[in-house]
């Protein structure tokens, strides 16, 4: 049975640490991935990285199929993902389940090429653009201890300063469980 995992929030050390590569897929990892998808869906997210559920592994799940015009996209599990090449650039507003209520314009490559491993630990290559590319980049950043707010300009960050302090002190209300220690 799937369970909802608490989500780590801004200020927690694990969100700033580089993750450890996954070496093999076992039943525990499959259960974690299943719970990550469940957690992401229940929090109405479209991507979730392992550090966001307090696990320091290079693993992320992505599902944009609930977004209008992206219904045909299949959910993805990306193990040890690496961006190999990028093209173009586009600025779009982003948010994050680990930084609730904070949104900001982030400039990212419009198209990416990445390699990752699937659940059988087979190396895969993927070309992604548009929303899928953006979500994957955001999640891979989590695996490297980078948060979307790191891309915001000084003025935008100032605007969110008091909210970021509230999140850091876990004095924020959301409709999904947050990690408490």
Q: What is the pLDDT confidence band of residue 168, given thresholds at 50, 70 and 90?
A: very high
CA of residue 19 relative to chain centroid, distance = 13
* Residue 6: inside a domain: no
Mean pLDDT for 152-181 is 92
Beta pairing partners, 79 = 59, 117
List the one residue out of 82, 93, 131, 84 whose CA is nearest residue 110.
131
Mean pLDDT for 83-108 is 96
Using the predicted structure, report yes or no on whether residue 181 has a pLDDT greater than 80: no
Please report the pLDDT score of residue 42 as a whole number. 96
* Residue 53: inside a domain: yes
Please report the pLDDT score of residue 159 as a whole number. 94
Mean pLDDT for 81-91 is 97
How far is residue 119's CA from residue 25's CA, in Å, rounded to a whole number? 7
Please report the pLDDT score of residue 116 as a whole number. 98
pLDDT greater at residue 132 or residue 181:
132
Whether 58 and 79 have beta carbons less than 8 Å apart is answered as: yes
- Token pair for 29: 């990892």
Whether 143 and 19 have beta carbons less than 8 Å apart is answered as: yes
17 is an active site residue: no
* Residue 175: inside a domain: no
Mean pLDDT for 54-82 is 97
Number of domains the chain contains? 1
Whether 63 and 46 have beta carbons less than 8 Å apart is answered as: yes
* Residue 155: inside a domain: yes
Please report the pLDDT score of residue 111 as a whole number. 98
Using the predicted structure, report yes or no on whether residue 51 has a pLDDT greater than 90: yes
* Residue 36: inside a domain: yes
Please report the pLDDT score of residue 145 as a whole number. 98
Catalytic one of 123, 139, 154, 173: 139
Please report the pLDDT score of residue 153 as a whole number. 92
Using the predicted structure, report yes or no on whether residue 5 has a pLDDT greater than 80: yes
CATH number at residue 40: 3.90.45.10
Mean pLDDT for 63-82 is 97
* Residue 55: inside a domain: yes
* Residue 7: inside a domain: no
* Residue 8: inside a domain: no
Q: List, for residues 104-149, the tens digit of each pLDDT value.
A: 999 999 999 999 999 999 999 999 999 999 999 999 999 999 999 9
Domain of residue 21: give its range. 13-168
Q: List, for residues 17-35, the tens digit of each pLDDT value.
A: 999 999 999 999 999 999 9
């Amino acid at each position: 049975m799937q369970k909802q995992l608490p989500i780590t929030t801004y200020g927690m050390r694990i969100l700033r640490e580089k993750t450890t590569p996954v070496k093999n897929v076992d039943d525990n990892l499959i259960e974690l991935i299943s719970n990550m998808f469940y957690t992401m869906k229940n929090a109405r997210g479209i991507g979730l990285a392992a550090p966001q559920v307090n696990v320091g592994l290079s693993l992320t799940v992505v599902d944009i199929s609930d977004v209008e015009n992206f219904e045909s996209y299949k959910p993805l599990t990306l193990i040890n993902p690496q961006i190999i090449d990028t093209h173009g650039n586009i600025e779009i507003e982003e948010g994050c389940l680990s930084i609730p209520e904070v949104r900001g314009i982030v400039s990212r490559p419009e198209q990416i090429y990445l390699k990752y491993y699937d659940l059988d630990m087979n190396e895969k290559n993927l070309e992604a653009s548009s929303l899928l590319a953006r979500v994957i980049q955001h999640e891979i950043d989590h695996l490297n201890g980078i948060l979307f707010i790191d891309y915001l300009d000084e003025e935008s960050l100032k605007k969110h300063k008091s909210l970021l302090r509230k999140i850091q002190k876990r004095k924020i209300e959301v409709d999904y469980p947050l990690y408490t220690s």
